[in-house]
Amino acid sequence: MKQIILVLACLVSCAARALPPLDYLTEDAYPYNYPQANGEPGGLAVSLLHLTWQALGQRPTPIRLVPWPRGYYLLTQKPDVVLFSTTRTPNREPLFQWVCPIATLRVVLVGRREDGGRLASLDEARTARIGAQRSDVGEQMLLNHSFDDRLLMPANSYQQLARQLQSGRVRYIAGTDTILAKAFADLGAEPGAFVIKWVIDELPLCYAFNANQDPAVVAEFARGFAQVLASPAYDQLRRTFEADQLRYPALLFP
């Protein structure tokens, strides 16, 4: 009888940990998520996801690398989509369900050092031509601040943004500081040639679930994620992540 009770208890707990099939989408955004040499996704957010699956007793699920605009669109349309890493902004808050934080990031305007120092205010950039990735947090936050969309130059990737600024097509580019800096490093830019002109905001980076997903599923995922954040494995992962950032001198914007 005791064995039967133990088996039943195990079945109940296992059922509580089980997640339904979910479509995990991510993009190329170093150092949080990016394709490794073997083509498989890697990065801080991917490692945290694998640890969360382990905490929940969940088998690994395929992760799809897609362009950010495509992933963001699918997140708004498909109940089973989880998109990461997604910046949690006030305007996005009611659109999705959130599990945070993967990290805290800065959304910035970057310009050329030769064009002068930091801006005195964000308003100083209102009449300038600014590059921004489609549907990215940089573009959305400028629009949220009532910037003229006709002055925003769309890009499909952070690498394209870096080329826009390097070639002088735009005065500034908007986006996440670490991802922009890696894009400049990939282009072989001299460290310090491009600088942060203004920090628009500092925000949490999260796993975003479709608004129609069962809240119990999101809560279960959040339970496993909280276990990971409280574990020694997370401390080690965070230290490795911070050390990895220093591989690229251009990441250290003055």
Query: Does the structure show a pLDDT above 90 at 58?
Result: yes
- In this prediction, residue 131 carries a pLDDT of 98
Residues 135-144: tens digit of each pLDDT: 999 999 999 9
The model's pTM: 0.83
Question: Which sign does the torsion angle of CA 27, 32, 35, 38 carry?
Answer: negative
Helical (H) or strand (E) element with 153 = strand 152-155
Residues 134-182: tens digit of each pLDDT: 999 999 999 999 999 999 999 999 999 999 999 999 999 999 998 998 8
Assigned CATH class of 106-202? alpha beta
- In this prediction, residue 165 carries a pLDDT of 97
| 123 backbone dihedrals φ, ψ, rounded to 5° | -60, -25
- In this prediction, residue 12 carries a pLDDT of 37
- Tell me which residue has tokens 């362009």: 67
Residues 77-110: tens digit of each pLDDT: 999 999 999 999 999 999 999 999 999 999 999 9
- List every span in the chain annotated with CATH 3.40.190.10: 20-103+204-251, 106-202
Least Cα distance to 110 among 10, 196, 37, 28 occurs for 196
Query: Does the structure show a pLDDT above 70 at 247?
Result: no
Omega of the bond prior to 85 within 30 degrees of 0, cis?
yes
User: What radius of gyration, in Å, describes the C-alpha atoms of the chain?
Assistant: 20
Q: What's the CATH superfamily of 20-103+204-251?
A: Periplasmic binding protein-like II (3.40.190.10)
Answer with the residue of higher pLDDT: 66 or 248: 66
- In this prediction, residue 234 carries a pLDDT of 93
